[in-house]
Chains A and B, each alone.
Chain A
Amino acid sequence: MKEDIHTPVPSIEEEEYHINMGPQHPSTHGVLRLVVSLQGEIVKGLKPHCGYIHRGIEKMCEKDTYPQIIHLTDRMDYLSTHINNHALCLLVENALQIEVPERVKYIRTIMDELCRIQSHQLWWASFGMDLGGLTCFFYGLRDREKILDIWEETTGARFLQSYYTPGGLMQDIHPDFQKHVKEFLKYFKKKIRDYEKILSGNVIFLERSRNIGLMTKEEAINYGVTGPSGRGSGFSCDVRKHHPYALYDKVEFKEILYQEGDTLARYKVRMDEMYESMHIIEQLIDNIPEGDYTAKMKAVIKLPAGEYYQRVETARGDLGLYCISDGNKTPYRLKFRTPSFSNLSVLDHISREFKIADLVAIGGSLDLVIPDIDR
């Protein structure tokens, strides 16, 4: 007897199930494990599991002297190496009330802004790649190599340089430094228009990022989301404007704020920040004064007993160094308040009710660097 092909299929209950975006995954940008609970394709919640790159840097700092800790700050958020070093140097210099020469301040500001451009180039490269546009990866990394060449000429290393030291710099800049930086600025101004053409105007990209991952300003403040991710929601948190250090109170630059709070706003903040960084470098590159490249420091650095807090603006947000010193040459307790740690805590909240493919776009727009979370 033929079966009746029109009998209805019994209804299948849709249940929530959990999938594991494990530590080894092409688009988590590091070793982050997300246990996502899904109903169909809609994300109902997610739990991040960190600690897969927890190296115990804070415990190691209690046994290292201050110049040795510079090398550890490099390896924490490895895309803002100079800015992390700058934080520790400022902590020591403000605690001992040492005034660094003007030349040092100029060079540090220029290197910091080059670091910021380089970090945003790598972010753009991997963000485009995650959304499927592999061309972005090649364009972004090709242009980033030019900045690495400038650094290699002056400091000797492409990556993880440990160039700053409490009191100044390890050594003076190369004589061709200014010429190469100006050439880079001319080159990159043309190339960044290519970036806009490839991704910013692309219909697929706009559909995948408009109104995805919405975060209001109150949520950004409550969760402590700083940096370009917070400024995309209208939270004015740029440490360079509110608590200026180095030469940021003497150069003219805008703090980029967008109010929409979606992935596209966070993307636009970072693209505009690249323009602003180039503008800052242009104001400073021709006016580097002559002078020493380091102030006179004692051989052994001992901070007076007490508590110190130093904030800087890395490419990801507000980095804070909290140091309790008891007068020895090593800190008693050194805590790093890293921006990616707080930025991760908001991922659960803003990805609810979106599809799992959008989760990749949201995670990419928050620009998480996992060793920054785990330290």
Chain B
Amino acid sequence: MNLEKLKERILTLVPEAELEENKQFLTFFIPAGKLHAMALRLKEDEDTAFDYLFCQSGADMGKYIMVVYHLESTKLGHAIVLKVKTEDRQNPAFDTICDIWRTAEFHEREIFDLFGIRFNNHPDLRRLLLDENWVGYPLRKDYQDEVNIVEL
């Protein structure tokens, strides 16, 4: 499916998506409240059929915190990027999508561990890589740790 048709099809399925400038993949910003419903539509529709989530990462952009989803279709061969963001740095929270793509279970635990973003309805949200009683979220830009980090 060529890019123009793909863009139109996605905008019909998920009308609230906003396109973003990106040379490599079609990128859409989605409002955080509608994430689960829209992701399910993108997976189940036959023209888009995004069944493979190949990367889910968090990013701290200073003003807002976002989660980026890279989706691909194994049958049709196209790939897009979805993003959700929030300006709430104290308690960022999004809906989980691990019931749609099971690979998200581990990815969301890692994002919770390193950024502090909670995922609602996740079956087992606890720290994955760091110790259970670690304080703080290391990959945030405002993480200070005089004890552990030796600055160069």
Knowing A56-B138, A307-B24, A342-B106 are in contact, say whether A51-B70 is a contact too (CB < 8 A): no
Judge whether B59 and A324 touch: CB under 8 Å: yes
**With an 8 A cutoff between CB atoms, is B29 at the interface?**
no
**With an 8 A cutoff between CB atoms, is A309 at the interface?**
yes
Interface string of B28-64 (1 = CB under 8 A from A): 0000000000000000000000011111010111000
Judge whether B57 and A309 touch: CB under 8 Å: no
Q: Which of A50-72 contact B (CB under 8 A)?
A: 50-51, 54, 56, 58-59, 63
Judge whether B102 and A307 touch: CB under 8 Å: no
- In the bound complex, how far is the Cα of B110 from the Cα of A341, in angstroms? 10
Closest chain B CB from A89 CB (angstroms): 17
- Stretch in B3-11, B87-95, B126-134 with 4+ CB within 8 Å of A: B126-134
Knowing A236-B74, A337-B57 are in contact, say whether A309-B139 is a contact too (CB < 8 A): no
Judge whether A224 and B68 touch: CB under 8 Å: no
Knowing A309-B24, A335-B55 are in contact, say whether A374-B129 is a contact too (CB < 8 A): yes
Judge whether B131 and A224 touch: CB under 8 Å: no
Q: For the complex, count residues of A whose C-beta is within 8 A of B.
A: 33
Judge whether B52 and A51 touch: CB under 8 Å: no
Choice from A54, A237, A306 contacting B129 with Cβ under 8 Å: A54
Closest chain A residue to B20, Cβ basis: A307
Closest chain A CB from B96 CB (angstroms): 14
Closest chain B CB from A94 CB (angstroms): 9
Judge whether A344 and B24 touch: CB under 8 Å: no
Choice from B22, B25, B53, B57 contacting A224 with Cβ under 8 Å: B53
Judge whether A333 and B103 touch: CB under 8 Å: no
- In the bound complex, how far is the Cα of B105 from the Cα of A344, in angstroms? 11
Closest chain A CB from B147 CB (angstroms): 14
**With an 8 A cutoff between CB atoms, is B135 at the interface?**
no
A-B contact count (CB 8 A): 77
Judge whether A221 and B57 touch: CB under 8 Å: no
**With an 8 A cutoff between CB atoms, is A318 at the interface?**
yes
Knowing A50-B129, A51-B128, A221-B52 are in contact, say whether A344-B152 is a contact too (CB < 8 A): no
Judge whether A50 and B57 touch: CB under 8 Å: no
Q: Which of A32-62 contact B (CB under 8 A)?
A: 50-51, 54, 56, 58-59
Judge whether B139 and A222 touch: CB under 8 Å: no
Closest chain A CB from B51 CB (angstroms): 5
Judge whether A322 and B24 touch: CB under 8 Å: no
Choice from A58, A224, A341 contacting B139 with Cβ under 8 Å: A58
Closest chain B CB from A160 CB (angstroms): 21
Closest chain B CB from A150 CB (angstroms): 33
Knowing A235-B74, A320-B54, A337-B55 are in contact, say whether A59-B138 is a contact too (CB < 8 A): yes
Residues of B contacting A20 in the complex (Cβ-Cβ under 8 angstroms): none
Interface string of A285-305 (1 = CB under 8 A from B): 000000000000000000000
Judge whether A224 and B59 touch: CB under 8 Å: no
Closest chain B residue to A58, Cβ basis: B139
Closest chain A CB from B10 CB (angstroms): 18
Interface string of A150-185 (1 = CB under 8 A from B): 000000000000000000000000000000000000
Choice from A318, A322, A344, A345 contacting B57 with Cβ under 8 Å: A322
Closest chain A CB from B7 CB (angstroms): 18
Judge whether A224 and B103 touch: CB under 8 Å: yes
Judge whether A51 and B130 touch: CB under 8 Å: yes
**With an 8 A cutoff between CB atoms, is A223 at the interface?**
yes
**With an 8 A cutoff between CB atoms, is A354 at the interface?**
no
Closest chain A residue to B130, Cβ basis: A51
Judge whether B102 and A345 touch: CB under 8 Å: yes
- In the bound complex, how far is the Cα of B134 from the Cα of A54, in angstroms? 13
- In the bound complex, how far is the Cα of B138 from the Cα of A63, in angstroms? 14
- In the bound complex, how far is the Cα of B60 from the Cα of A58, in angstroms? 13
Between-chain CB contacts (< 8 Å), 24 pairs: A50-B129, A56-B138, A58-B114, A58-B139, A221-B74, A223-B103, A224-B103, A307-B27, A309-B25, A309-B55, A309-B70, A320-B55, A320-B70, A322-B55, A322-B70, A333-B59, A335-B55, A337-B54, A337-B55, A337-B57, A341-B107, A342-B106, A345-B102, A345-B105
Q: A residues touching B (Cβ–Cβ < 8 Å)?
A: 50-51, 54, 56, 58-59, 63, 219, 221-224, 235-237, 242, 306-309, 311, 318, 320, 322, 324, 333, 335, 337, 341-342, 344-345, 374
Q: What would 17 more interface pairs be, CB under 8 Å, given A333-B57, A344-B106?
A: A59-B139, A221-B74, A222-B103, A224-B103, A242-B77, A306-B23, A307-B22, A309-B25, A309-B55, A318-B54, A320-B54, A324-B61, A335-B57, A341-B106, A341-B107, A345-B102, A374-B129
